[in-house]
Amino acid sequence: MIRFFDRRFVIVMGKGGVGKSTVSAAIALAAARQGKKVLVCELKTAERMSRLFGSPPVGMEIGPVAEGIEAVVMTPESALREVALLKLRLKTLYRLTFENRVVSDFLRSVPGLPELLLLGKAYYHEQELDRSGRPRWDMVVVDAPATGHGIPFLRIPQVILDLFGESPITSEARQIRDLLQDERRTSLNLVTLPEELPTAEVLALKHQVDSLLHIPTGFLFVNQVLLPLLDEEQAADLDRLRERFPPRADARLKALVDAGCSWCRRMRQQRPYIDRLSRQGEMPTILLPRLFYRDFGRDAVSDLAGYLFRAVGDGELRAVGDGEAEA
């Protein structure tokens, strides 16, 4: 089996708001620290990598965000422009066709075409060689669009193959589908939160991935996991204190006890979902802790990358989350 960090096409998927971008950044940093050259493709989102790494924005041209890590924001329009210019050598012809407002509106309505273009551009970079004939990047991380609406992103190549007759688009779709299903090159990773909706959705997504898509999976990342603040004895003491709390005790004491109980309650709230994900996810699960940084930037990503790297290890199944919260 190919190690997680040796797979070249690492896709990160999940519902909106679960933390795909932070996980993508952490994967990229963990890989870069092993000496790999990484490209992060941000699909259809506002630019985030540069903000997370504290570097100048990169926009739609590939640019560096950290040592060993480059990023690019991709939109269907920019992908279409590049593909069209590549294939249609004449700029005038391109302008006549693709920059025609009506035509571009129409193209946007072609089911799956915008998404295919995005996948195609990411795929192109996975294949890309530098001047000496070596792969330009060792890893392409795809921060995928939020799941939950529209045609499921990764179904697009197959949908196109089912719907359209033989054409350049279908042959492109076929190549992309083959890359997606190649377990030597691709890993599909899912991100979720230990809450109701994200958990339900990620389990449904996993089922679909296995039964329909046959895309090799990597890890299931559970984000924002609250690590225990207290050990067992302390937790028991806190409980006792809460139960028998003296009515006229110092307000500051009450504040401390309340905050502690709140933490414990939230942790307990998460537990059933974490268990369910580990049991039903049928994927090695990695718990990523909730971090408490005033500015969630380079340092926070670095922390996460550390957790991630230790958890992934040699590709063995080890779940982080048994340690205590670090203050």
Partner 1 sequence: MTHWLGELIERQQVLVILGSGGVGKTTLAAAIALQGALRGRRTLVLTIDPARRLAGALGLEELTVERQRVPLEGLVPGTAVKGELWALMLDAPRTFDALVARYASSDEAKERILHHRLYRHMVDALAGSHDLAALEKLHELLDEGGYDLVVLDTPPKEHAFDFLDAPSRLLALVSQARLGWLLRPMAGLGEPHRGGGLRMLPTRLILRTLSRFTGADVLRDLATLTLALLDLSAGFRDRVARVAGLLQSPDCSFLVATMPDPFTVSEAQGQRDKLLGSSLPFAGFLVNRCQRVPQHAPSADEDLEQLAEQLARQPEVAEIVPPSRLQPLLVRLGQGLSLLRELAEQERQAIARLRGQAEDESPLLAIPELDEEIHSVSQLLRFGTLLV
Residues in 11-40 at the binding interface with partner 1, rule: CB under 8 A: 15-18, 21
- The C-alpha angle with vertex 84 and arms to 82 and 87, in degrees rounded to 5, equals 105
Longest dimension (CA), the chain: 82
Contact stretch for partner 1 (CB under 8 A) within 60-68, 86-94, 275-283, 301-309? 86-94
In b/e form, how buried is each residue of 256-278, taking b as 16+ CB within 10 angstroms? eeeebbebbeebeebeebbeebb
Q: CA-to-CA distance for 181 and 178, rounded, in angstroms?
A: 5
**DSSP E strands: which ranges in 243-307?**
285-289
Binding residues for partner 1 restricted to 94-123, rule: CB under 8 A: 96-97, 100, 102-103, 105-106, 108-114
Is residue 200 near partner 1 by the rule CB under 8 A? yes
Site string for partner 1, 143-182 (x = CB under 8 A): ---x-xxxx-------x---xxxxxxxx------------
Nearest-angstrom CA–CA distance, 117 and 120: 5
Binding status of residue 56 toward partner 1 by CB under 8 A: no
Only segment of 23-31, 124-132, 257-265, 277-285 that touches partner 1 (CB under 8 A):
257-265
| Least distance CB 61 / partner 1 (angstroms) | 21
Query: Can residue 296 be called a binding residue for partner 1 (CB under 8 A)?
Result: yes
Determine, following the binding rule CB under 8 A, whether residue 55 of this chain makes contact with partner 1: no
Rounded distance, CA 27 to CA 21, Å?
10
Considering the complex, what minimum distance in angstroms separates the CB of residue 259 from partner 1?
5
| Residue of 46, 89, 133, 211 interacting with partner 1 (CB under 8 A) | 46
Nearer to partner 1, 148 or 313 (CB): 148
Burial of 14 (C-beta count, 10 Å sphere; 0-12/13-18/19+): buried
